[in-house]
Chains A and B, each alone.
Chain A
């Protein structure tokens, strides 16, 4: 039956949503359907039929089957299948999981594994097809055949060899960036365009840009320079990233992540100068260059984007890639003319090469991104594959879209000017990763999810209306339409397209400009970065300034909650009428941008004069003359001086503030030095975290756990719990001291304050959601619930400030912030630990090119660790980014030390039980039944566990040498052991307060007396019995204009779950439903969390007011 949705000739059947087709099927029928789909996808020759079947299978195993599996066995995931998955042997993994399903029966665990394998195989199949199509584009194929320098057919154009006074001419390419006026509902994703060419349409405008208040007038922001040099090397320079390199070997050209020159390298390869086919040949780069440029000569390529910040959503990097490719192609005779605009067929070739370059570089944009190569305003549309196309028989659409540039008759100058006079382009400053969004869009499209499919149709019809408004010059209507698009179809397809920052900006812009605010327009993948505000032209000048202020003010309010890469900026722009454009700078005019000389001249001055080539000497002369005569070079000498002499003072002041912070937050320097010594001498480290290899690890026995995952606790237990709640004997502790490294990839913002999802019509933070649950329980039992959020050096001040601003969300009960009392200083990792993490631990292998990028980047990071000093202090970042919290074990002892528990006991002397949970365990609430069970069991600590899914990694409930305990993933003697463990630790713990105090050899009176000595001594005793784990965490370093680097750093931690290994804690274990115990670790989980009913469940637990 489900096969009809894929194979039917009738579009109405084919476009039926999967969810409605699955709704009426029971477990047996669903499994039968899965079996048929699996057989079909193995046999089908049609790419999209195969891919749709794969997505169907992934969705059934992720969303539909688990709901029908209640009462089934827990199930276990075959480790060999997991290994196959990591190694991208998807077919084999699927076979292993299916065999597991046959032998054990269907289970949530196996279904989660199958869902992941089918999902990854589907994307791999699509990506492979795009790559195949890129390779088969005519004009690209020869580059894959060429494997020896002697076979290089490209030759430099003779005009570029005509040197004057030792200065070779400079070929300059100026390229605008592009904006997508309609937001294409992400229809420019290659996978969509190739399956649904009719639905792939965008209005794409080439624009010149200036940062308002910084630059004079808008110019083409992307610049590429190409010239011959008198050295047989490939010299690459990125002015914006301040990176330059003289490359002498072919292997280095293909090493993309070694430095910041990956994009330039991709352009050199995609333009055919160093063709992809020559990779790994072991041949000489000098020989290759000799073939192209002549003996003793080389090529220099320089890029500049005039400091346009990263994340602008204007496809700056793709257009830079296109500009570089265009310059390289002109220089090597692959275009008819050396200068001027490109012909249409040449633009298409540049597009094909840019797609190739993005693939080679392991990145990937949409097919409209090279739009800056074309002039003015154009419509770009998918095209149905014809008989002679390589896509024929494979996909309905061609890889490359068609471009139609509108002339002045269709869109008159007055309309273009009207657009320029009303639209304000901005960069909100947020750093966002659109990768997961694009995957979600693809998946939803292929599943034809009903609402999203309707949204896509609406977005398509809006495009025609936008175009009509543009032709009429009716910008007010255009603004209304782009707003409608953003509010309607875009958020229907991807709710995460908006965020709290964007919503606040729109709200404030509306308040500021009233009827003169004509609309909002989202650029590109998601909002928060590049965006557009459309206003009445009479107020544009005012709006340019006010929007800057509003954005900055809003950013200041939210910068601890959301990841910002930079302060917001406003742009000036104008429509570019040329597209990419080349010119030749000769003789005295062959001068490069001033920023280039800051890098190159500094290098030349450091070199011995006798080693300089004739060209290099001429260049020094040229620079000296420019400094005297060219106004653009006015401050060049001073800047050069700054480059040559590093600014030591600033570094010292930063170090000063780091020291201050360490002192304030209770840094233990003796312990730190001991850890450093142990790390350096190899006594501790990632491999030493593990238990000895002969440790006996077994799964828990059924009689050792209480299972509430299928059945609710009895009425008696519920009553017992309810009474405790009514008596005010219970409080909640939410752990919010960590920075959620996985949530923002180490951006250092407070996860607790992140307005992660909309509930009841607006974005809510984690804190608000947890308080809403406590509010509801408190109201139900007639007694307010005390709620404590633990914090750390990083999260305490912003959380305090935020709660003040929100007036504690009007929470009726006692609300405490428990500040951290200990801090560690991050260290540069040891090479041994990096290699262990990257080479010994099982890793998800990436797609081929991405894997190459990762390996290259890891090699660079190992080099960084070695040169910076292994296990030395990590200080090259903002001071707060150099500290770390020391593990969640300490968060409960901190309550004792910092007086929070004392205050709580004074307020609630009857307090007996604490429920502790992670900030991201949204389903944890004061369930009376579970509380009743905990009370009745007399356990010191009752830990909640959930059945394991593939993504639940990091240990679990285990019998370790016959003793039942929670075993951390870090301590597992080998990876395979985890796959024998049925249950995963949710971290939610019910704590008997008196038993906990007894563990620390304390009584309530000690707490009330704030006997610090006794408390400290009790905590130390227990802490010393817990293992110390060494971990690697990612930390972001921000620099330049929105640039971010991620570094691995070493830190140590002690973990709460290890208390279970102490018999005196009287730990017990409960299995709870998945909806209660699952954690939100990564924003990419949000969409499935919304779709699988989790969000709805959380909403049912909350009372917002």
Chain B
């Protein structure tokens, strides 16, 4: 399986400006969130990216892509009809290819040489099936994520066979159907905001129906896909920053800075700041 396309969703009413925020990268450059995402994706072997945006935001997005404009396609979601809908309208862009799905309000920091996106793409190419990036997450954060239940693939401690996926489950539901053997008690595999999806998933998504609020969610189609074909989850060696959370951008900025060459300087500043405040 070759993965050369990516889709970034950035049209949600509460999230559409988040990719445009700027921060200082690990290497010390000031960049937008979107630009950092694009850098990582192209470095991981992606050749073209479709960005799903809200109407009227294209101008701002164009100025935020930082030199990648020719490899980017903007797709307008005219109505805010859910995450699933945002992905579905990228169907023409992805065509019959498998693709990498990203969300515009997350940043990633790998703890190994290979970036988070590259780790995911490599596994998906190797296993020739859809793969979602996941992270073991404490149950107190269940209200924020899609959660995967399954079992470990033998021989690879970070790879899981997906059996069930639920969106923002209650801890009770999670304990009943999402426990993954081998994880610490009270921890679940939560989505990392990064998936490699296949054409069959897009077919499944096209067949699925909207929920009671008229929106098309993504998770039920992912769950249905898991029932129909081999679907894996990969626990990545890296960290995710959700810049949509309160202080999310600050945390992302600090995370990036502390992973770069200016680590000591940043640490000293933080300590100074702590000492100066009560």
Contacts and interface: CB of A to CB of B under 8 A. Distances in A.
Contacts of B140: 146, 150-153
Interface string A137-166: 011111101100011111100000000000
Contacts of B185: 141, 145
B176 A349 contact: yes
A339 B142 CA distance: 23
B141 A153 contact: yes
A154 B176 contact: no
B143 interface: yes
A153 B176 contact: no
B139 interface: yes
Contacts of B176: 138-139, 345, 349
Given A153-B171, A334-B172, A142 B143 contact: no
B189 to A, nearest CB: 15
Nearest to A275: B171
A152 B139 CA distance: 8
B186 A334 contact: no
A251 B143 CA distance: 26
B47 interface: no
A142 B179 contact: no
B143 A155 contact: yes
A151 B138 contact: yes
A332 B138 contact: no
B243 to A, nearest CB: 20
Contacts of A138: 175-176, 179
B163 to A, nearest CB: 15
A342 interface: no
Contacts of A151: 138-140
Interface in B153-187: 170-176, 179, 185-186
B175 A332 contact: no
Contact of B170 (A141, A146, A150, A154): A154
A435 interface: no
B172 A145 contact: no
Nearest to B140: A151
A272 interface: yes
B179 A153 contact: no
Contacts of A140: 175
A333 B170 contact: yes
Interface in B193-231: none
Contacts of A152: 140
B172 A139 contact: yes
A316 B138 CA distance: 38
Contacts of A329: 172
Nearest to B213: A158
Interface string A1037-1068: 00000000000000000000000000000000
Given A145-B185, A145-B186, A153 B175 contact: no
Contacts of A154: 170-171
A141 B142 CA distance: 15
A555 B139 CA distance: 57
Contact of A141 (B138, B143, B173, B175): B175
A272 B171 contact: yes
Interface string B2-15: 00000000000000
A641 to B, nearest CB: 45
A146 B171 CA distance: 11
A962 to B, nearest CB: 66
Interface in B4-52: none
B143 A153 contact: yes
B142 A153 contact: yes
Interface string B65-98: 0000000000000000000000000000000000
A153 B175 CA distance: 12
B113 to A, nearest CB: 34
B105 to A, nearest CB: 20
Nearest to B173: A334
B175 A142 contact: yes
A140 B175 CA distance: 8
Given A142-B186, A145-B186, A272 B143 contact: no
A733 to B, nearest CB: 65
Interface in A139-197: 139-143, 145-146, 150-155
Interface in A963-982: none
A854 B91 CA distance: 66
A272 B174 CA distance: 14
B137 to A, nearest CB: 11
A334 B170 contact: yes
Interface string A519-558: 0000000000000000000000000000000000000000
Contacts of A155: 143
Contacts of B179: 138
Central interface residue in B140, B174, B176, B185, by most chain A CB within 10 Å: B140
Contacts of B171: 142-143, 153-154, 272
Contacts of B139: 142, 145, 151, 153
Contact of A332 (B141, B170, B186): B170
A330 B232 CA distance: 32
A223 to B, nearest CB: 23
Contacts of A146: 140
Nearest to A143: B171
A155 B139 CA distance: 13
Nearest to A148: B140
A949 B139 CA distance: 54
Nearest to A154: B170
Q: Ordered nearest first, which 3 A-B pairs have the shortest CB separation?
A: A151-B140, A142-B171, A334-B170
Given A145-B186, A345-B176, 5 more contacts: A138-B176, A139-B172, A139-B173, A153-B140, A155-B143
23 contacts: A139-B175, A141-B175, A142-B171, A142-B174, A142-B175, A145-B139, A145-B185, A145-B186, A151-B138, A151-B139, A151-B140, A153-B140, A153-B141, A153-B142, A153-B143, A153-B170, A154-B171, A329-B172, A333-B170, A334-B170, A334-B173, A345-B176, A349-B172
